[in-house]
Amino acid sequence: MPVNETFATYSDWLYRSALGVYFFAILLYGVEQAFSRAPRKAEALVGAGGPDILADAPKSELTRAERIGRMGAAMTVLGAVLHLGSLVMRGLSAGRAPWGNMYEYMSLLCLAAVVTWIVLMAKFPIRRLGVFVLTPILVLLFIGGTVLYAESAPVQPALRSYWLVIHVSVISISSGVLLIPGVTSILYLLKDGNSDRFPKLPSADVLDRMSYRTTVLAFPLFTAGIILGAIWAEAAWGRFWGWDPKETVAFVSWVVYAAYLHARATAGWRGRGAAWINIAGFALNVFNLFFINLVTSGLHSYAGL
């Protein structure tokens, strides 16, 4: 099928527009983080199921920093819409699922992370953390749009399968969701043990709940992605598992996240110990994304570079 160059151009424009919008959202989050007051104790109840007093407060009672933060949240939603549009246009231009190379895979992964962040903002009083969460996502998108960029084209013959739609989408989305608890676990370690340290961060309890609930959501998806990949491997290569570098690191990551969920439910490991395990999973996730895909050679070497 010939590539539709018009749709491909629109996809690139939307991608760059999304990057610009995310950048301005980070600036707005940064203003709120810098100039807002430290959270009141009542606000900490939101993370434990209490009322969201900021959401219910009249606009006249919001500070200027809070209004700017809300603008940042709105810009994030706009960026996500443009980001989604870029993926849709890329898929239409090539007539296939738009995650057939590293550029597209990175774009889907980051979109999943942004959508996760938007959902978390609706459930927790953590909007001012947007500067910490969106910055690494923006860096990944910039790398994807420059170093990893690939022209819209048909995928390699090995990827011309309905499993591309199923397996790659599930593993990419789950990996994107898992980026968020990695960041919040790092912030948890900064906050834990001294509530007066970094006073503008949410409480350690809120950060811990965010990390745990997000990992609980992503872990079954990640598990399904690995299982679906094994089924595709049997159909394509005649074996379910061959300890290919990407398979190996994915399995180790799965073990680490399973250990985190177990540690989070164990009294002796709950807290800092569990957070360190989650950060280890985050590091493996990033390692698998870059080093395994771009440096090592194996049956999963489809970087498209």
Count of Cβ atoms closer than 10 Å to residue 243 Cβ: 8
pLDDT of residue 195: 63
Residue 75 covered by a domain? yes
CB 98 within 8 A of CB 14: no
Could you tell me the residue range of the domain that residue 260 belongs to? 5-294
pLDDT of residue 269: 78
For the chain, list residues with pLDDT below 50: 42-57, 305
pLDDT of residue 49: 41
Cα separation, 248 vs 255, whole angstroms: 11
Q: How many domains does the chain have?
A: 1
Residue 21 covered by a domain? yes
pLDDT of residue 282: 93
Residue 25 covered by a domain? yes
Measured in degrees and rounded to the nearest 5, phi and psi for residue 151 equal: -65, 150
Instruction: Determine the residue type at 145.
Output: G
> Which token pair is 165?
């739609």
> Which token pair is 57?
């407060």
pLDDT of residue 265: 81
pLDDT of residue 299: 52
Residue 250 covered by a domain? yes
pLDDT of residue 294: 66
Residue 192 covered by a domain? yes
pTM, rounded to two decimals: 0.87
pLDDT of residue 251: 92
Helix (H) or strand (E) segment spanning residue 33: helix 5-35
Residue 23 covered by a domain? yes
pLDDT of residue 237: 76
CB 110 within 8 A of CB 141: yes
Residue 305 covered by a domain? no
pLDDT of residue 164: 83
Cα separation, 149 vs 192, whole angstroms: 40
Separation of CA 43 from chain center:
26
Residue 118 covered by a domain? yes
